[in-house]
Structure formats: structure tokens, C-alpha cells
Amino acid sequence: MNILISNDDGYRSPGLHALARALSPLGRVTVVAPDRDRSGASNSLTLDVPIRAERLENGIIRVNGTPTDCVHLAITGLLDEEPDLVVAGINHGPNLGDDVIYSGTVAAATEGRFLGLPAIAVSIASHQPQHLRTAGAMAARLVAGLRDVQLSASTILNVNVPDVPLEALRGIAATRLGHRHKAEAVSRIEDPRGRPMYWIGPAGPEQDAGEGTDFHALRTGWVSVTPIQIDLTRHGALPALGQWLGALP
């Protein structure tokens, strides 16, 4: 099995290296990752400047682009052999509920799915993780399991792992995405010349985070696995919209 690994925290991230270590017994692992932290990059492609890919001494291919660039490049021409699977992560910090809209980790997996491959995004609950091996082990279990089960062609698995020792996990739960309250306000500070500068504030607190959600699973010590899809059409709204449009003067 050829496994393509990418992330959004950049090529030096301990989570990326932990994932590569954990998956290497399962197949041939290729790592293509951004040259810096691109968290929050979502599904952006770089179209205004050329993209360069450089193979480092440790074998990692470093790209001056987004997570989506990395996976796009890897699958559409950079690699000699097309991968069988894309795994993104291990992101430092969870990707829960509405986070997936902004996440570069989820975007890397999404790009793999767009280009026809099974894809998994893996995040660990802490921004300063102590137990990356736990998340690595869970990623390996899921990847090994995928050899027996075919994921639906439109499904991406969004995995969040508590930052605890492996034996402290309560299990693996299938969950739905919860929701957050709206984001905190932007921070405004002044530069030395008195001009305003802004820093995007943190995501909002949990809102819809009850039983069955990814928030709840993670909070109660479970590994959360959410099947997500890209179809953004709100199918239920089509009939009413059609009627409204038909009646427009």
C-alpha cells in the first residue's frame, strides 16, 4: 500500500513525524508537507506564484504551498506512483464541529478524496500533545481496517484522538459534527506607528456538543470518527427555492 501523508502544521511538526512512523509498517509512506504552519488554510490552492517541491535528506518533500497544494501536487504529477490512500495530520489541536470548514488538515484529506482516494484526517486534542503515539496507533488501526472495508467514494473520515496514553482510551465512537458558537472577536493592537493590526480570535465555545457529537466523544475520553462529505447542496431547500424563484416577478 502506498500512503501519502500531509498536514497543515508544516513539515517539522512532531505530529507529522509521529504519523509517518506509525503508518510506515503498513506500506510505503511518502510525506509531502507545507514549509510552514498553514493551519486554517482550508481548501486553498496557490495560483498566483509557482510552487516548488524539495526533497529533504530525511525523505520528506517540502512544498511552499498549502496542504491542498501538497496533496494536489503529489497525486497529479509529483510522485511516480499514485498513492492508495491519503492521511493528514497528526494535527496539534482538535478539529471539531465547525472547525472542519477552516482546517487545513481536513482540507488535505478532502483533496485526496476529490482526486479519487480514500482519505483520513487525524487530530489530537492538545496543542502541545504528550501522547502522539496514541493518535499514531489509532491512525494505524483505521488504515489497516480500511484494507477490508471500502469507504463510500464521497466519505472522508475526520478523526480526533484524546491526548492520553493508549490504555486510557475508552474506545472508538462514530460521531456527527457538533457546532460552536460564533468565533471570539478579533484582537486589535497598534503597531509602533500607531496603526491598527489585527489577530484573528479563537474559535467560539461549544454550542451543540451533546451526546453523539464529536465534542462529546472527545470530552469523555473516546476517539471520535466522523464521516464527512463535501456535498454542500442543501437538498431539502431545493423545492421551496424552486417555488420562490418561479414566483419571482
Contacts with Mn ion by CB under 5 A: the residue count is: 4
**In this complex, which beta carbon is closest to Mn ion, that of residue 27 or of residue 204?**
204
Q: Are the C-beta atoms of residues 41 and 8 closer than 8 Å to each other? A: yes
- 95 binds Mn ion per the rule CB under 5 A: no
175 binds Mn ion (CB under 5 A): no
Task: Decide: is 9 part of the binding site for Mn ion (CB under 5 A).
Answer: yes
Cell of 102: 477552516
Shortest CB 10 distance to Mn ion, Å: 8
Please identify, among the stretches 9-17, 154-162, 181-189, 211-219, the one whose residues bind Mn ion according to the rule CB under 5 A: 9-17
Check binding of 98 to Mn ion (CB under 5 A).
no
Helix (H, G, I), strand (E, B) or coil at 244: helix
Smallest gap from residue 9 Cβ to Mn ion (A): 4
Q: Which is nearer to Mn ion, 146 or 224 (CB)?
A: 224
- Give me the least distance between CB of 19 and Mn ion, in Å please: 13
Which residue of 3, 6, 8, 157 would you call a contact of Mn ion, by CB under 5 A?
8
CB 121 within 8 A of CB 160: no
Of all residues in the shown chain, the one whose CB is closest to Mn ion is 39
> What is the phi-psi region of residue 230: left when phi exceeds 0, alpha when psi lies from -120 to 50, beta otherwise?
alpha
| Nearest-10 Cα torsion for 208, 106, 25, 168 | -20
> What's the min distance (Å) between Cβ of 52 and Mn ion?
22
Taking the CB of residue 119, how many other CB atoms lie within 10 A of it? Answer: 26
Closest CA to 166 of 20, 5, 22: 22
The residue among 9 and 214 lying less far from Mn ion, judged by its C-beta, is 9
Q: Judged by CB under 5 A, which stretch of 1-9, 50-58, 173-181, 211-219 contacts Mn ion? A: 1-9
Q: CB nearer to Mn ion: give 91 or 224.
A: 91
- Which residues does residue 121 pair with via DSSP β-bridges, in sequence order? 88, 158
- Please list the alpha-helical segments (H only) found in 37-81: 67-73
Q: How far apart are CA 9 and CA 38, in angstroms?
A: 6
Strand pairing category for 61-63 and 28-34: parallel
Query: Shortest distance, CB of residue 174 to Mn ion, whole angstroms?
Result: 24
Query: Site for Mn ion (CB under 5 A): which residue of 39, 42, 110, 158?
Result: 39
Residue (of 43, 48, 49, 92) closest to 68 by Cα position: 43
Residue 183: its H or E element: none
**Whose Cβ is closer to Mn ion: residue 146's or residue 177's?**
177
- For CA atoms 220, 223, 227, 229, the dihedral sign is positive
Q: Does 91 bind Mn ion (CB under 5 A)?
A: yes
Give min distance, CB of 119 to Mn ion, in A. Answer: 16
Applying CB under 5 A, the residues found at the interface with Mn ion are 8-9, 39, 91
